[in-house]
Amino acid sequence: MNTTEIQALKGKQRIVMLTAYDYQIARILDRVNIDMILVGDSLGMVFQGNPDTKQVTMDAMVYHTHAVARGAKNTIIVADMPIHSYDTPDQALANAKQLCEAGAHAVKIEGHQPEVIKILLKEDIPVMGHVGLLPQYAEKFRVQGKTPEQADQIWRDALAMDKLGVFAMVLECIPEWLARKITHDVKSPTIGIGAGKYCDGQVLVITELLGMTSNDHLPKFVKQYSSLNIIIGEAVTEFMEEVREGKYPTKKHTYH
């Protein structure tokens, strides 16, 4: 599947995207035929332990994109352009090319950046847009578009990016009615995260979906489909007990 085929899914099939930051998770997502993998700058929080995404560098994004590309041979890989990597169109083009060389098939940019989008599309680099909550610029993570003025601006930005030719766009943390209106009004598929059920697809952060994050820090829109935080802890605890009691390794796990 390519980005043109993703566009063709609008109105026909819900699109599924998840984040991945390493070879192992990417390999699993590739095996189950997920539609798209996002190498998100969310790695700054869930992989590096920072309070936000503002510390993520181009070097980090290139490194993780390489790792994901080694694991996902058949899935579309979208790489986030980190903060300050697209401050100018020329800078954006140089950095986007790095991510594509690392294995990305498209890049994602936060906010309406018309000149940046134009130059990337001119060089045949597919762009995914992103409106609503913009983590690279937000002082606090909160729902956007709750006032008429905010909602109108988000809607206008989405329409403008759609007109420029983004192949899809993320709608993050906006009211469901606004996401529904944008999804109806744009040709590009919309991928929601905290934007309700009327988007053309959904994306979540993989560690949150798998239950590797404390429940105390989960956004309202996250559903945990597993409890790896508990499962991994139990496995490690059992290993420690067997080592300390001399039960591991056994003959089965020893070379002779």
**Catalytic residue of the set 172, 241, 242, 245:** 172
> Which phi and psi (to 5°) does residue 91 adopt?
-65, -40
Lookup: tokens for 251: 């003959």
Query: How many other CB atoms are found less than 10 A from the CB of residue 56?
Result: 26
Alpha-carbon span 6 to 10, nearest angstrom: 8
Alpha-carbon span 154 to 94, nearest angstrom: 28
- Mark whether 172 is an active-site residue: yes
Going from the C-alpha of 189 to that of each of 8, 116, 182, the distances in angstroms are 8, 20, 10
Sign of the torsion angle spanned by Cα atoms 85, 100, 43, 202: positive
Planar angle of CA 146, 148, 154, nearest 5 degrees: 75
Provide the annotated active-site residues. 172
